[in-house]
Structure 1
Amino acid sequence: MKKWEAKVFDCIKNENTYNKIKKYVDLILQENKKYNLTGFDEEKIWLDGIYQSIFLLNNFINYNNNQHLLDIGAGAGFPSLPFYLFQEEKMKLTICEPLLKRAKFLNLVKKELNLQNLTIINKRLEDTNWEEKFDFICARAVMDLRKLIEISSKCGKINCQYIFLKSKNVHQEINDAKTIIDKLNIKDLKVETIDLQDDKEHNVVIYTKQNKTPQNFPRKWHEIVKNKL
């Protein structure tokens, strides 16, 4: 077992889960030769993909049975899929992935690992008709916070917890998102900085949905991009 695999094993402490994660990593490495799923090499897949995803989400998601997590634009599956493999018996996961090649890869993982409570949707989130469906919503490195907050607001149940993984520019993103934060009456947004003992800054934006989303949200994507409320 390589040292980066051992770090993940020490985190999950379960051989069956480790074996599923190992098979998942092998599928990433195999399919990455055909498609550009991720720029990570094997070590980074284990550390920046698997370990970080499990460690960070496990700090903020406390599951009861059958609660439902949505991941926005997961790409090769980060951060939700490693966490799902860690908590498979307790949760349902939906990944909304607009790129077809990545959605096909995620469906391959679902088939090869026989994952029962995983759904892959090949759409942009703002084009779905989900309303108050999810208990938790997460995303990593998919778009800036202003857009994320708007497109995901309607999908969350009241008391849905939002967990967005961000880097060192997080406070500028929050400042840029102030208008939509006020429009949606988000009162408890905060940033947690997590030390993973590496050379990167890991910030997690968290908040809870406390009010119903206005009927005219989310707007069409071209309106969101223009940023005129």
Structure 2
Amino acid sequence: MAANCSLRPCLPSFNLQLSPIHIHSSSYYHTFNNTKLTTPPTASSPIQHLHQGFGFGIEANKKKNNNSFSRTLAVRHLTGSLTSADGLRFAIVVARFNEIITKLLLEGALDTFKKYSVKEEDIDVVWVPGSFEIGVVAEKLGKSRKYQAILCIGAVIRGDTSHYDAVANSAASGVLSAGLNSGVPCIFGVLTCDDMEQALNRAGGKSGNKGAEAALTAIEMASLFEHHLKH
């Protein structure tokens, strides 16, 4: 036996790096190495080292958080991009009824396409009599496989009869069906307003231009389908 070996068992040396211990209790009481701590350690004065005996610094949620973080990293997040519109083609179906509104929406959409580098030759505008006719034409364009997204623009303004409800509901369901049946994103850019003032406010007035907003949606959806969901 070596001369300098003590009679107590030889224990391996540990260098424990402890993270701050956060205790949410006003009645915290802890004894370690015969030392009483009447106040919990804080982030500004954490217990970093235990120099005598064995000790364990535990962060209650550390393991759980690490596992959760690992699972998050494994998830694929797919999203369309507004900066990858090069080569994408778009069709815009525009209702002629309430043309004073739909023209402003169309101008907003075209300006947005230009701003995001969509070439003029990659955009086709198709006019239809009214919002009721948008869906069938959008579906036909989608099935042609010439376009990555179809933007549908119209304006339905409430009148004195229930005609408004019939047209508004039919326009919405028609655009939805067009996208589902063709497999091409069909973007709903049809205004449904109570009066002309509301429509003007949403066609470039104080509420912005909904045609421009719909164009952004068309670019993002076209990019998503083309770069991530294309078979």
Normalised to the residue count of structure 2, the TM-score between the two structures is 0.30
Greater radius of gyration (CA): 2
Q: Which structure dedicates a bigger proportion of its chain to helix?
A: 1
Relative contact order, higher structure (CA 8 A, sep 6+): 2
TM-score (norm 1): 0.30
